[in-house]
Structure 1
Amino acid sequence: MLKNIIKTTFRSFWKNKTVTSINVIGLGVGLATCILMMLYIWDEASYDKHHLNKEDLYRVAIQFNDMRGAPTPAPMAEAFREEFPDVVQSARLFPYPMLESMFLTYQDNGVENTYQEINGYYVDSTFFDVLTYEFVEGDPHRALNRPNTMVLSASLATKIFGNKSPVGEILKVGLPEGDFDYRVDGVFEDSGLRSHVDARFFLSMANTDIGEYVAQETSWSSNNMFYTYLKAQPGTDQMMLEEKLREYYKRQIQADADARGMTMSIFLQPVSDIYLTSDLGFEIGNNGNIMYLYVFGSIGLFILLIACINFMNLSTAKSEKRAKEVGVRKVIGAEKVQLVRQFLGESLLMSFVSLALAIVILLVLLPVFNDFAGKSLQVFQDPWVLLTISILTVATGLIAGLYPAFYLSGFKPVAIFKGGRGGGYSAANIRKGLVVFQFVISVALIAMVLVIRSQMNFLESTPLGFDKEQQLVLSLQSSESIENFSTLKNSLENHQGVKLVSGGSVYPGLEVLQDWLLYAEGTNSDEMRQVHIGRVANDYIETLGLELIAGRSYTDDFTNEELAIILNEKAVKSLGFAGPEEALGKRLIMEWQDTRSEYEVVGVMKDYHFESLHKGIKPFALVRTSKPPYLIAKIQTNQVKDVLDFAESSWKNINAATPFAYSFVDLDFQRNYEKEQRTATIILYFTSIAIIISCIGLFGLAAFTAEQRTKEIGIRKVLGASTWSITALVSKEFLVLVGFAIVIAAPLGYYAASRWLENFAYKIELSIWVFLISGLLAVLIAYGTISFQALKAALANPVNSLKSE
């Protein structure tokens, strides 16, 4: 039976080579797209799923007034572990404040090699008892038990030590406070590791550099800089545990919160959910977005569905060619179930032939996609992936073939041999409905592409309130380079291509990691307001081209600038001043633990976007520092290379032991939109694929329609119909269907675009023109596809179509 099905199937394929090619290409591209999206979603959804007892692991986060943040106070982890039996273990993670990278130096046979590395974190020795890391060297339960110890990722260990075991070796870690020796305790595997904590190395928190500072951090209501992780007893109810912890936390901070007029609370986040669902302030790294997984998954399935619809439409459209085959089979005794089995066998076999094409496409495209998306996806990486692909292929064959199988097997032999269709007339209407569905998807995707592109253009063209062009940034991450800031600044100022030089702890595009609670002198402490803080050097405002609307900026002409503060307009309003002029000369109080500092308002600057346009402008202030971790130089447009060469030469003369690292403000600011740019590109490519597959199917369907109406067209031409009128006649039916699709797609596209735009505080207004243009493009694409077949039919010699009559 199986042999007969396969033999008949290949005979049918050979007799209908054009249709078979269309179906195999369509299903192959559809399967490749769907599998690619499945691999991507699988990878994204696997973050933090490797931890032992992952269902019992939580991160504590804070609700502060109307803001939510991931960092918590220092004493929280230990207190929760000691006070609550439901908490089996706890650990803290601490990123060094305002330090983008650290310098690791290894001395090998008298030669020092220095490496600038990002993503290094201080953690408690209990960290590996909470989160699971596979150690290839060392013991995770003993690692970091002693001061000044560290563990490395396998990739970093290989980079520094080669094939040599790093355990027991000493690395010098360069920090703003100086250089400190660390002993390597272990190495963890990071190949294929997917975690929201994307670490290159971990340092013991009980160190000589920050150990004393951490030990002194006993406040529950200020200086939230520690990420707290909890391991609960198996089976512990999250809501009940959260309520207990919240009540305890409330008791610790109640007095301070009431005195400052603050509302503070905590909540728990399952560790396995953080990467895809958490978008709090001060996240450790760049998390994913579960909404994009829904979008990409839907697009992949829709493209595959479009290919399946092509198969259905073309199978039913050519049904008359197989009607006699069905009639003969039924006359000689074939049952309907046998015919269904035959036609389903054909679709399943075609699906697996298409899978072979899909695998070839994936093997070619995966390296390109991996490079673009920063992934390492592989088709054959997991048995479960192969099983899922097999199930998907079978499902594709069944979905594509089920309706044609029942439709074809339902033909009546008597009607067939009398010259009729042998089946009902509903197939034509179903084909029309499926064409409408295809173009609903295509039009909605076109609209999304236009909206995303418009939003990206809006982000790039929106005035930011500062001069982002030609702003060179040098990263001063070591104690030596920070100490030498003034020397380097003076050196760069002597170059003719440099206009101005300053520095700061932040610059536009970086997340501001420091905030203070301030209140104006003469008001009560319960009127404290949260203000984000940037520590800057002299000439910061002038270098970045910020607009000063009252007072002055920081210059060398004034002394005691460390207690001078410059506010933005949002901060002026938040602190209760009527306007910039009223704020000038006023003193602001900052209380932190047992200290009280007073700052005089010396200037007010116009609001500018110090963070990306995902976020609204917040209260922000500048305070002065003479040793910033970043140097910023405004350079002449035509002298970028000369200035870079000079800057590197000056750097090597001044900071010989520290690698030279630079960036530009505009590029760093633009990196905030990389996720959206990547999404836009992916959707654009897949929209193109969806349209191409739809057009391939439409092309085939138009060919069959023209073939069915050959005699009608011949008669019309004999009666004097023009080529244009016949072309319009053939095209009209399909263009009406596309019109229906546009009407349906517009509200769907509007809803999807509105949801996506919710990610931005500043966004475009959705216009009807987006959907009109999308519809017009769809009509033009459809007409271009159909017109070839329509013209071919219109130009055909009517004698050939009527000579048998």
Structure 2
Amino acid sequence: MLKNTFLTAIRSFLKNKTVSLINVTGLGVGLATCILLLLYIWDEGSFDRHHKHGKEVYRIGINFGDFTAASSPAPMAEGFKSNFPEVLQSTRLFKYPMLESMVLKSEIDGELKIFQEPFGYYVDSTFFDVFSYSFIVGDPEKALQEPNTIVLSKTLADKLFVGEFTLDQTITLGLPEGEFDYRVVGVFDDKGLKSHINANFLLSMQNTDIGSYVEQENSWKNNNMFHTYIRVSPGVESHTVESKLNGFYQQKMGEDIQALGFSSNLFLQPLENIYLTSDLGFEVGPTGSRTLLYVFGSIGIFILLIACINFMNLSTAKSGLRAKEVGVRKVVGADKKQLVFQFLMESLVISLFSLLIALILVLILLPVFNQITDKALQYADNWNVMIFALGLTIVTGIIAGLYPAFYLSGFKPLQILKGVTLSSQSTVSIRKGLVVFQFVISVTLIGLVLVVQKQMSFMQHSSLGFDKDQQLVLPLQSNEAMENFSVLKNQLQNQQGVSMVSGGSVYPGIEVLQDWLLYEEGKTEDDVVDVIIGRASEDYLETLGMELIQGRSFTAAYPEMGNYLIINQSAAKAFDLEEEDAIGKILIMEWQGQKNEFEIVGLVKDFHFQSLHQTIKPFAWIPTQKPNYLVAKFETNQTATLLASIERIWRNINPSTPFSYTFLDQDFKRNYEKEQKTATVIFYFTGVAILISCIGLFGLAAFTAEQKTKEIGIRKVLGASTYNITALVSREFVVLVTISVLIAAPIAFFASGKWLENFAYKIDLGWNIFLLSGIIAVCVAYATVSFQAIKAALTNPVDTLRSQ
């Protein structure tokens, strides 16, 4: 029985080649889309799932009202562990401030290797009692228990050492304070490791470089620069622990903060949720977005629905071809159940053929998809997805074939064999409704693509308050490089193509870790303003092209390095200072019982130091002679030649520090990587949705043209033009797509508005964007249908009317 049903399904598939090909192509493209998106979703959802105690580990975040941080004060970890039995273990992670990478040196058999490596973190000795890492060499239970020890990733160990690796080898760490030796006590396997802590190497918190600083940090209200993690007892409710810890936290520092006019409270973030749900200030590394996964998942489901709709529409539209078959089968004894099973089997055969096409497409498209999403997805690593895809294929086959199966099996044999027409108004209405539903999805996606692209263009071309183009940034991440800043600056200023050179602790586009609570002279701590602090050397504002409104900048004409500030307009506004009266005002910062006075010497026009997601905040520059970054403004198109010259100068001045560089505009653009990735993926899959919808329209148009063959022939004989015939066939579909546009426009408007809420500075949503999306959809649909319409119009009427 099953074999006969399967063979009948194959024969039907081969007999109706055109319809079968359209269905297989549509379902194949839809399944390929779903598989690609499933691979991405599965990969994003697998972060931090490998930890043994993952479900009992939480990170502590601090909410300061208008700002929420992923970091916390230094004594919090030990304070919670010592006072709460529910907290079994705690550990801290520390990112060296304003240091994107560290210089690592290793010497094996007289060969010195020097690398500048990012993603290095200081951690407590309890780190591996909270987090689970697979060690290739060493013992995680003993690692980092001793001062000045380091644990490397396998990738980094292979770079630093040649041949078989052994423990206790020495690595020299280059920092702004000098060079420090660390002993290697372990290597962990980082292949396929997915964690929000994107560590390349881990350093013991007890050490000779920052160790003394860490030990003296015992304030609960200042220097929230540590990432604190706790492991609680199994079965303990997180909200119960959170309430207890927050009460203790308020006792320790609540009164001090409230005296400054601030309030804060802590909250717990489950470890397994951090990567997908956290987007706080001072994150350890880049994070994902659960919302983005919902968007991608929805796109995949909708595209598959569009493919299923194609199948249903074409199956019911072609019902007349199967009518006599159904009638004969019923006359010879087939019941409705058998017919339903037969038609569902045909649907499953088409789905399985589609899966084969989909797998081939995924194999071809996966490298491109990886490049778009910045992933390294593979079939072999995700068999769960493949099994899920097979299940999805079967479900898709059943869903796509269910309505046609019941529709076809419901024919009455007497009417069929008498030649009574089978079309019903309800069936036609359902088919039209499904076409409208298809294009509602497509038009909505087109609208979203246009909004996202317009917002991205707005962000890229908005005035940022500084000159981001042709700005070369050299990180001064070692003591050698920082000490030689002046020498390097002087030589680069004499380099042809370089117009200005300066330096700072930070530059626009990267995160600023330092802020001060300042209040104006004559006022009290009740009037403090939280001000972001950056350090700048001579000519910094001029090099970056920032506009000075009042006063002066830090230049060679004022070489003194006193307590001076250059503030932005937002800072002046926050202190209720008139711009013309701001110069000469004194701002006070209290630190450890001492008042530190700073004179305002300059006022700069507001600039976007951070992305357009965030509003411009009060900002102030203080002078420095040892910046962390050198910024060089260049005016030449021969970038490669200039970089080669700068690298030679660098190596002569800083032989022990690797040369690395970046461009300011590229760094600022990285703030929008998530949005750019979203825009690109939506753009491509919108094209897929339109393609599948048009495949369905193409099939329905061919069927309509076939039904109207004789009508078209008669009209041509009576003098109808090709345009008239084309309009006759196309009119119905254009009307349906137009209805889709009217329904999709408000949906796209609402979805776009929700997405734009993520930006402090954004475009205005106008009707023209959604009008354009509608015009695009109508034109594409008309072009698709017109092909069949023109083909029918050009057919010789003698051929179509010969039988009459």
Q: TM-score range by the shorter chain?
A: over 0.9
Residue 335 of structure 1 corresponds to which residue in structure 2? Answer: 335
Residue 206 of structure 1 corresponds to which residue in structure 2? Answer: 206
Matches within 5 A, 1:270-289: 270-289=270-289
How far is 1:38 from its partner? 0.7
Taking a change above 3 Å as real, the CA distance of residues 16 and 162 of structure 1, as seen in their structure-2 partners, is: farther
How far is 1:499 from its partner? 1.2
State whether residues 10 and 349 of structure 2, in contact with CA within 8 Å, keep that contact through their aligned partners in structure 1: no
Q: Secondary structure at the match of 1:672?
A: helix
State whether residues 53 and 130 of structure 2, in contact with CA within 8 Å, keep that contact through their aligned partners in structure 1: no
Q: Secondary structure at the match of 2:562?
A: helix
How far is 1:424 from its partner? 4.2
Give CA deviations for 1:643-668 in whole Å, capped at 9, x if unaligned. 32221111011001111111111111
Residue 596 of structure 1 corresponds to which residue in structure 2? Answer: 595
- CA–CA distance in structure 2, aligned partners of residues 112 and 171 of structure 1: 11
Residue 219 of structure 2 corresponds to which residue in structure 1? Answer: 219
State whether residues 61 and 72 of structure 1, in contact with CA within 8 Å, keep that contact through their aligned partners in structure 2: yes
Q: Secondary structure at the match of 1:562?
A: coil
How far is 1:35 from its partner? 0.7
Moved more, 755-764 or 253-262: 253-262
- CA–CA distance in structure 1, aligned partners of residues 651 and 761 of structure 2: 42
Residue type of the partner of 1:779?
V
State whether residues 130 and 231 of structure 2, in contact with CA within 8 Å, keep that contact through their aligned partners in structure 1: yes
Q: Secondary structure at the match of 2:235?
A: coil
How far is 1:639 from its partner? 4.8
Residue type of the partner of 2:601?
V
Residue type of the partner of 1:705?
T
Residue type of the partner of 1:72?
S
State whether residues 24 and 351 of structure 2, in contact with CA within 8 Å, keep that contact through their aligned partners in structure 1: yes
How far is 1:93 from its partner? 0.3
Residue 411 of structure 1 corresponds to which residue in structure 2? Answer: 411
How far is 1:595 from its partner? 4.2
Residue 692 of structure 1 corresponds to which residue in structure 2? Answer: 691
- CA–CA distance in structure 1, aligned partners of residues 757 and 43 of structure 2: 25
Q: Secondary structure at the match of 2:173?
A: strand
Identity of aligned residues (%): 60
Q: Secondary structure at the match of 1:499?
A: strand
- CA–CA distance in structure 1, aligned partners of residues 27 and 10 of structure 2: 17
Residue 800 of structure 1 corresponds to which residue in structure 2? Answer: 799
- CA–CA distance in structure 2, aligned partners of residues 621 and 66 of structure 1: 19
Matches within 5 A, 1:305-316: 305-316=305-316
How far is 1:588 from its partner? 1.3
In structure 1, the gaps of 5 or more residues are none
- CA–CA distance in structure 2, aligned partners of residues 649 and 377 of structure 1: 39
State whether residues 413 and 422 of structure 1, in contact with CA within 8 Å, keep that contact through their aligned partners in structure 2: no
Residue 429 of structure 2 corresponds to which residue in structure 1? Answer: 429
Residue type of the partner of 1:446?
I
TM-score, scaled to structure 1: 0.98
Residue 716 (structure 2) pairs with residue 717 (structure 1):
yes
Residue 80 of structure 2 corresponds to which residue in structure 1? Answer: 80
- CA–CA distance in structure 1, aligned partners of residues 672 and 777 of structure 2: 29
- CA–CA distance in structure 2, aligned partners of residues 557 and 425 of structure 1: 87
Give CA deviations for 1:1-42 in whole Å, capped at 9, x if unaligned. 121112111211111111111111111111010011011011
How far is 1:586 from its partner? 1.6
State whether residues 411 and 423 of structure 1, in contact with CA within 8 Å, keep that contact through their aligned partners in structure 2: no
- CA–CA distance in structure 1, aligned partners of residues 161 and 339 of structure 2: 67
In structure 2, the gaps of 5 or more residues are none
Residue type of the partner of 2:29?
V
How far is 1:715 from its partner? 3.0
Residue type of the partner of 1:593?
Q
- CA–CA distance in structure 1, aligned partners of residues 499 and 16 of structure 2: 72
How far is 1:181 from its partner? 0.6
How far is 1:423 from its partner? 6.5
State whether residues 411 and 421 of structure 1, in contact with CA within 8 Å, keep that contact through their aligned partners in structure 2: no
Q: Secondary structure at the match of 2:488?
A: helix
Residue 560 of structure 1 corresponds to which residue in structure 2? Answer: 560
- CA–CA distance in structure 2, aligned partners of residues 639 and 10 of structure 1: 64
How far is 1:751 from its partner? 1.3
Residue type of the partner of 1:524?
T
CA-based RMSD: 1.3
Give CA deviations for 1:714-735 in whole Å, capped at 9, x if unaligned. 3333344333222211111111
Residue type of the partner of 1:680?
A
- CA–CA distance in structure 1, aligned partners of residues 474 and 398 of structure 2: 60
- CA–CA distance in structure 2, aligned partners of residues 607 and 693 of structure 1: 48
- CA–CA distance in structure 2, aligned partners of residues 128 and 372 of structure 1: 34
Taking a change above 3 Å as real, the CA distance of residues 163 and 363 of structure 1, as seen in their structure-2 partners, is: farther
- CA–CA distance in structure 2, aligned partners of residues 477 and 348 of structure 1: 61
State whether residues 60 and 268 of structure 1, in contact with CA within 8 Å, keep that contact through their aligned partners in structure 2: yes
Residue type of the partner of 2:247?
E
- CA–CA distance in structure 2, aligned partners of residues 794 and 721 of structure 1: 9
How far is 1:536 from its partner? 0.9
TM-score, scaled to structure 2: 0.98
Residue type of the partner of 2:725?
I
- CA–CA distance in structure 1, aligned partners of residues 346 and 591 of structure 2: 75
- CA–CA distance in structure 2, aligned partners of residues 11 and 595 of structure 1: 90
- CA–CA distance in structure 2, aligned partners of residues 475 and 286 of structure 1: 20
State whether residues 169 and 183 of structure 2, in contact with CA within 8 Å, keep that contact through their aligned partners in structure 1: yes
Moved more, 692-701 or 675-684: 675-684
How far is 1:510 from its partner? 1.0
How far is 1:594 from its partner? 4.2
- CA–CA distance in structure 2, aligned partners of residues 722 and 349 of structure 1: 43
How far is 1:163 from its partner? 3.7
State whether residues 219 and 593 of structure 1, in contact with CA within 8 Å, keep that contact through their aligned partners in structure 2: no
Give CA deviations for 1:282-328 in whole Å, capped at 9, x if unaligned. 11111111111111111111111111111111111111011111111
Q: Secondary structure at the match of 2:693?
A: helix
Matches within 5 A, 1:616-635: 616-635=615-634
- CA–CA distance in structure 1, aligned partners of residues 300 and 234 of structure 2: 38
Taking a change above 3 Å as real, the CA distance of residues 362 and 638 of structure 1, as seen in their structure-2 partners, is: closer
Residue 580 of structure 2 corresponds to which residue in structure 1? Answer: 581
Matches within 5 A, 1:133-144: 133-144=133-144
- CA–CA distance in structure 1, aligned partners of residues 20 and 74 of structure 2: 66
Matches within 5 A, 1:176-575: 176-422=176-422, 424-575=424-575
How far is 1:669 from its partner? 1.1
How far is 1:165 from its partner? 1.7
How far is 1:141 from its partner? 1.5
Residue 90 (structure 2) pairs with residue 90 (structure 1):
yes
Residue type of the partner of 1:664?
F
Residue 30 (structure 2) pairs with residue 30 (structure 1):
yes
Residue type of the partner of 1:632?
V
Residue 790 of structure 2 corresponds to which residue in structure 1? Answer: 791
Q: Secondary structure at the match of 1:637?
A: coil
Matches within 5 A, 1:99-178: 99-178=99-178
Residue 767 of structure 2 corresponds to which residue in structure 1? Answer: 768
Residue type of the partner of 1:669?
F
- CA–CA distance in structure 2, aligned partners of residues 719 and 375 of structure 1: 62
- CA–CA distance in structure 2, aligned partners of residues 423 and 638 of structure 1: 69
Residue type of the partner of 2:564?
A
Q: Secondary structure at the match of 2:133?
A: coil
- CA–CA distance in structure 1, aligned partners of residues 575 and 222 of structure 2: 19
Residue 40 of structure 2 corresponds to which residue in structure 1? Answer: 40
State whether residues 71 and 225 of structure 2, in contact with CA within 8 Å, keep that contact through their aligned partners in structure 1: yes
Q: Secondary structure at the match of 2:399?
A: helix
- CA–CA distance in structure 2, aligned partners of residues 254 and 10 of structure 1: 74
Give CA deviations for 1:487-511 in whole Å, capped at 9, x if unaligned. 1001111123221110001111111
